[in-house]
Amino acid sequence: FKESLDEDNLSHYFNITVDPSEYDILKKEDQRSFKLENILDEKSITGFRSAIFSFIVGGSIRRLQQKKLGQKIDKYTFLVHTDMKKKSHEWQSEILDSLFSKLTICIDRDIGNYRELIRQSYDDLLPSLKLSDIEIPPYEEVEKLFCKAIIDEHYKTIVVNSEEKEIEALTDESGELSRDVPFTIFVGGQILDRGITVPSLLGFYYGRSPKTSQQDTVLQHARMYGYRNKYDLAVTRLYTSPRLHQKMKWI
């Protein structure tokens, strides 16, 4: 948090402010405040949509960098953690499904504002990318890989709840949540409070705010600020409300 005050430090770009009213939209369906068919245009969910675009744009940038350097190409993950209720997780998964379905149609037909949204995410990541001593892929290459990831379905949304059998099915031999596509979005509740390991995280959409905070739980959540590869950090973002960010800072 101290380093985030320095504009020449990667930490300065890590936190992105989200309007807390988005958390209410993500709890349950309410057509008065949000319509799925308007997922790419709806202003009431700008932060959430930007988080997903930033994740895939950032992951595309890293995969292009790794390919050029002849390195192993990583599979990246994103975490959505705003609520404990399973119905909320199902609704969030439905929102994500609609987002990807609408994106697929727009890219396939070359309609809508998808290019504008990709470009915005790319531009938002540039300041931190410029602090890294690694070549930044040109926008055209990033857009092409982004579109390919959507059309070829190189993404997956997985809801992670606390059933033991479900967790066993989702984790690999090392105890980490497994990945079999380039971009995996985990949506979850209580199990994420228990310190399960999510590898290669490039983004978080965090809104977990119980009326009474348990210190050990909040400290588990603070692992979001833990060590990661500096090149990954250049495209990693935490989307959360000002109040939750201040709570983490205070701790």
- 238 Cβ contact partners less than 8 Å away, ≥ 6 residues apart: 14, 15, 16, 203, 204, 206, 224, 245
Residues in the chain with pLDDT values less than 70: 162-178, 189-196, 208-227
pLDDT of residue 139: 98
The count of residues in the chain is 251
pLDDT of residue 1: 77
pLDDT of residue 172: 63
Contact 185, 158 (CB under 8 A): yes
> Checking phi first, is residue 179 left (phi over 0); if not, alpha (psi -120 to 50) or beta?
beta
In 3D space, the residue among 193, 162, 161, 197 whose CA is nearest the CA of residue 178 turns out to be 197
**Tokens at 240, concatenated:** 């959360």
pLDDT of residue 115: 97
pLDDT of residue 8: 87
pLDDT of residue 6: 87
pLDDT of residue 34: 86
CA distance 38 to 34: 8
* DSSP assigned state of 30: -
- CB neighbourhood size of 146 (10 A): 26
Angle, alpha carbons 23-30-160 (nearest 5°): 50
CA distance 144 to 150: 10
pLDDT of residue 150: 98
pLDDT of residue 197: 72
CA distance 80 to 193: 12
* DSSP assigned state of 72: P
- CB neighbourhood size of 216 (10 A): 11
